[in-house]
Structure 1
Amino acid sequence: MTGRVTARPSGAGPLAEISGLTLGPAAGGPPVLHDVCLSVPRGQVLGVVGRSGSGKSSLAYSLLGHVRPGLEVRGGTVRVAGLDPFDGADARRLRGRVVSFLGQDPASSLNPALRIGTQIAEAVRLRSPVKGGAGIRARVGELLMSVRLPDDRAFQRRLPRQLSGGQAQRVALALALAGRPSLLVLDEPTSGLDPVLADGMRGLLAEVLSEGDRAALLVSHAPAWIASVADDVIRLDGGRIVAGGVPGASPPASPSVRSPAGGPRSTAPRVTAAAPAAVGHLFVRGLHAAHGRVSALHDVSLTVPAGSCTALVGPSGSGKTTLARCLAGLHPPARGSVEWRDERARRGRGAPVQLVAQDARGALNPRESVGDALMRPLRGVRGRSVREASCESVRLVGLVGLGAEVLARRPGELSGGQRQRVALARTLAAEPRVLVCDEITSALDPETASGVLDLLDSLRRATGLTVVMVTHDLAAAAARADQVLVLDAGRVVEAGPADRVLVTPEHPVTRELLAREGGPALAVPEQRR
């Protein structure tokens, strides 16, 4: 279906219109978007859903007059407030003032060398009519409070690396709102948020959109959430609009959640090697960590058996990512210890602990092809020959559900979901014994996320791989994890087997997270009860 899709009438003309838009590789090949037509009326929210790689982000970028490297516009028109975002002069009038964009990699929009308050103040100065130091400072505080962040001087002096993924997401939203834009383009705005904050984003968007005739185009992998926010929903598949969505209708069950009976079958590749006996443990004792003078972790202790899966959950900013980085040796603890013991470990055999970061764009070298990114750990860590490493690269991208053609591409030529899977493949190339996964499914559609999690389960069974999973998806934690650790304000507030913590929670923080997820208890596979 390629007919025009329009949100419910608002009594005014559309703020944005796309007619017959077709994008494709500049070198030739199948289009990424094919004959797409839609309009976004003022005061309305249009939701866009679809699998990873279906063209959602390319559609969102088109409203800013941007196409990913390697693509070109083959036909069609785009108009925002009557202007052409692909025209240089019109684009300068539109960006930041009429239309603002929040991408699914929020950290990439933040300058790592500038403090948060400075960045927001600069955006206000450039994009809004507010003038004078006092007025700009007041507007910075107003923006921070509007996205549910502290407006005090201590927070404004933080650097991006001192923020959690959810905090970075909201700071990026504050930057997008600095110029009071008429059209917000949001690509996966809840990917870094826990269920409480994701639910709060619904109210936040309602407040933001209540200002005048502001409209939004909202891309998301969460069908239930987007149905509760959007006035209309369209679905992309292979670059085409294949169906519209009806807000409020029951979305299909997420394949990433396994029911006790087994749930939907995954099409992810299976690892068929015989599972060895799990050996070794990861020990964390009395861990304290800080970002500058700001304490992030307080006396955290846990033991992770080899071959098991441990889920770290908690509100955004609770210290989950800091703990993950400490486990991988990327953040030095102030006190305490992290130790991995493996009686089979041999010198030169892989890298014992590896982190798959939440920000896949920031983790990949933008100038390096996917093939080169995989060759480095295969050659440098595992000592493979060029021929062996080339063959293994093809196997690894296939293992995470990608074709061999991505090996020649750079990160900027991939969708967010594809980048996330490349980051996972590169980590697996180092043959880790412990895989620390920080929100690795946040940029993936439910079907692809289920496939990636099934892959990790298969690797655990086949190789004794230990997985520590930072996640906001409590349903995935219930279905995959053996034990759950709940963090709040840098402290462990609840810990234990998944079938106890997520079925009969004891701490108020755990109960609130579960309530926002959809109920007081989640389905845990029968074999683990």
Structure 2
Amino acid sequence: MTGRATVSAPYAATLAEVGGLTVGPSAGGPPVLRDACLSVRAGQVLGVVGRSGSGKSSLAHGLLGHVRPGLEVRAGTVRVAGLDPFDRADARRLRGRVVSFLGQDPASSLNPALRIGTQIAEAVRLRSTVAGGGGVRARVEELLLSVRLPADRSFRRRLPRELSGGQAQRVALALALAGRPSLLVLDEPTSGLDPVLADGMRALLAETLREGDRAALLVSHDPAWLGAVSDDVIRLEGGRIVGRGIPAAPSPVQPSGAPSGGGSPGEAPRATAAGPVVDGGLLVRGLHAVHGRSAVLHDVSLTVPAGSCTAVVGASGSGKTTLARCLAGLHPKAAGSVEWRDGGAPRRRGAPVQLVAQDARGALNPRESVGTALTRPLRGVGGGSARGASDEAVRLLRLVGLDEDVLARRPGELSGGQRQRVALARTLAAGPRVLVCDEITSALDRETAARVLDLLDELRRTPGLTVVMVTHDLAAAAQRADQVVVLDEGRVVEAGPADRVLVDPEHAVTRKLLAPEGGPAPTVPK
């Protein structure tokens, strides 16, 4: 489906009204959201677009009566169905039944100790009128199928850690839909989804909004996606609403210093635009991995030459995150080997392979300041002074496009995009030889994502960093990677130079990823 998810206009009554909402740090300082005004009417899909840190999430949270730790409401009003979500009694009547929220970090909304079927069943009992064990189970199965997930007993018994990022996102969406809410607030709903599922999310929203007069507020850094699915879009910059209207299709981001292609897995490394590679690399042979009794990786073998970039792509649930965790030694191997060969490069202290996780919130200690998170690995690896580690922490923050004042904040006080960049900076602080990046640009706007990818290219040129990039962004894979590995159901189904795999794919899985619903494939630079 490519049309917008709409119902007939004119819209019915106003479901939500925001007037002059201003949110800023509790300790003082410039607001993160300034004098925001908007209304959402029944049956309407309203999009909110802007760069990372522009105030999008603060605006979305306001409809739930919530502000991030360290922030406070300085002025303004919010009404949802005539009630004040910042009033505790009103909030209890609203949340889950009238308004539901899906945040940037879907895994954080899932209880790690409860099976997903149990969690959805509890939400159904609490937020709906469905009664009886059989009725609840039928509703759970209906919700799972509605978000394009299996509804069988085996899947319902999985724990959150046994889900891919995209699967966790859709389970969280099922939880949000459990009470049949009138207003859905979705913060970056496609950030963990492959192109096929992102396109499917558009159809899912259309089906969901056909139920009565339901409305949605969609927050995204992807103007093209918002333009396709929304009735209207407001644009935020620096915490202010600076414009509205359906955005024009953005021109492709032209990366600086994009590599021109590299060797396929198993071939000898060759020089690229990111600089000549050195001897050695990451060798994966016959890798098998399981979750509980379920096999998720089957005989995966690949070679990542030192100084190169390999992109790992595939549908949600294909095993990409499990592969990333195996490479970093965070998920046990059932069989096979993962080996880093230094070649002629100087040895560094610390683990040679480090992971930048997809769930940045879960990867950072919520009680620890950003400064502490960065200086601890710096002192552990470098063994230098506290002052030297502090100076290096500032340098790393600036590398990933963040200001020095972020050092004093905790993860809960940051936007999703800021947390993702802090997680990258912390991983770089450990001095890895191989950086495994699991969807590190999924919460970033196009310009910020391009800067982060430029940084990875620069790090490959200078200290000879080797990059494994797990991504759903096929344009980024086409423009940045030397080679591409395509996973499907835990198996490598295609691998080779990026300028071959993403221009002339041989496997049906690759072709489907490149052109979901007949859409255009990403442009590969020549």
TM-score range, shorter chain: over 0.9
Aligned to 1:446: 446
Residue of structure 2 in register with 1:105 after alignment: 105
AA matched with 2:380: G
Instruction: Give percent identity, aligned residues only.
Output: 80
TM-superposed CA distance for 1:314, in Å, is 0.6
Residues 11 and 44, structure 2, Cα contact 8 Å, conserved in 1: no
Residue 417 of structure 1 corresponds to 417
Q: Distance in 1 between matches of 2:258 and 2:303?
A: 26
Q: 1:305 to 1:517 in 2, by over 3 A?
A: farther
The amino acid across from 1:229 in the alignment is V
Range with bigger deviation, 381-390 or 274-283: 274-283
Q: Which residue of 1 aligns with 2:248?
A: 250
> Aligned letter for 1:19?
G
Deviation at 1:348, TM superposition (A): 6.0
CA deviations 1:196-226 (Å, max 9, x no partner) are 0000000000011111110000001111111
Q: Which residue of 1 aligns with 2:360?
A: 360
Change (3 A) 1:23 1:521: closer
CA distance in 1: counterparts of 2:66 and 2:31, whole angstroms: 16
Query: How many equivalent pairs are there?
Result: 507
Q: Which residue of 2 aligns with 1:54?
A: 54
Call closer, same or farther: CA 1:286–1:160 in 2, change over 3 Å.
same
Task: Return closer, same or farther for 1:392/1:85 CA change in 2, 3 Å cut-off.
Answer: same
What displacement does 1:344 show? 4.8
Contact 1:310 1:485 in 2 (8 A): yes
The match for 2:66 is: 66
Measure the CA separation in 1 of the matches of 2:413 and 2:276: 39
Aligned equivalents of 1:152, 1:62: Cα separation in 2: 37
- The whole-number CA distance in structure 2 between the counterparts of 1:261 and 1:8 is 48
What does 1:338-417 correspond to in 2, within 5 Å? 338-344=338-344, 349-417=349-417
TM-score (norm 1): 0.93
Gaps of 5+ in 2: 1-6, 261-273
The 8 Å contact of residues 258 and 480 in structure 2, kept in 1 or not, is answered as no
Q: Does 1:152 align with 2:152?
A: yes
- The yes-or-no answer on 1:510 pairing with 2:510 is yes
Provide the residue aligned with 1:188 in structure 2: 188
Taking a change above 3 Å as real, the CA distance of residues 352 and 218 of structure 1, as seen in their structure-2 partners, is same
Residue 259 of structure 2 contacts residue 480 of structure 2 at CA under 8 Å; is this kept in 1? no
**Mapping of residues 160-179 of structure 1, within 5 Å:** 160-179=160-179
Q: What SS does the aligned partner of 1:463 have? A: coil
2:23 is paired with a residue whose SS is strand
Q: Secondary structure at the match of 2:515?
A: helix
Deviations, residues 77-98 of structure 1 (Å, cap 9, x unaligned): 0000000000110001001110
TM-score (norm 2): 0.93
- Give the counterpart letter for 2:237 in structure 1: D
For residues 130 and 122 of structure 1, the distance between their equivalents in structure 2, rounded to whole angstroms, comes to 11
Match of 1:474 in 2: 474
Q: In 1, distance between residues paired with 2:8 and 2:117?
A: 38
Residue aligned with 1:479, SS? helix
Deviations 1:315-362 (A, max 9, x none): 000000011111001111111111001035667623200000000000
**CA contact 2:321–2:438 (8 Å) conserved in 1:** yes
Paired position in structure 2 for 1:294: 294
Tell me if 1:234 matches 2:234: yes
Provide the residue aligned with 1:435 in structure 2.
435
Superposition deviation, residue 276 in structure 1: 7.6
Task: Give the C-alpha shift of residue 259 in structure 1.
Answer: 11
Q: 1:239-284 deviations in whole A, cap 9, x for unaligned?
A: 10001122xx53222436679999xxxxxxxxxxx96852321000
- Bigger shift: residues 100-109 or 275-284: 275-284
Q: Per-residue deviation at 1:381?
A: 2.5
Task: Work out the CA distance in 2 between the residues paired with 1:251 and 1:372.
Answer: 41
Give the counterpart letter for 1:329 in structure 2. Answer: G
Per-residue deviation at 1:428? 0.2
Relative to 1, partners in 2 of residues 1:256 and 1:200: Cα closer, same or farther, differing over 3 Å? farther
Q: Secondary structure at the match of 1:484?
A: strand
Q: Tell me how far 1:131 sits from its aligned partner.
A: 1.3
Specify the alignment match of 1:30 in structure 2: 30
Off by >4 Å, runs of 4+ in structure 1: 256-262, 274-277, 344-348, 517-521
Report the aligned-residue RMSD: 1.9
Judge conservation of contact 2:277–2:305 (CA < 8 Å) in 1: no
Q: Deviations over 1:96-147 (max 9, x none)?
A: 1100000010000001111010100111111111111111111100100110
Q: Are 2:11 and 2:43, in contact at CA under 8 Å, matched by a contact in 1?
A: no
> Residues 203, 276 of structure 1: CA spacing in aligned structure 2 closer, same or farther, 3 A cutoff?
closer
Cα distance change, pair 187–486 in 1 and its aligned pair in 2 (3 A): same
8 Å CA contact retained: 2:194, 2:316: yes
Matched with 1:4 is none
CA contact (8 A) 1:43 1:215 kept: yes
The whole-number CA distance in structure 1 between the counterparts of 2:207 and 2:36 is 30
Corresponding residue number in structure 1 for 2:139: 139
Is the alpha carbon distance of 1:29 and 1:518 closer, same or farther for their aligned partners in structure 2, counting shifts above 3 Å? farther
Q: Is the 8 A contact 2:24 2:71 kept in 1?
A: yes
- Aligned partners of 2:361 and 2:411 also within 8 Å: yes
3-state secondary structure, aligned to 1:381: helix
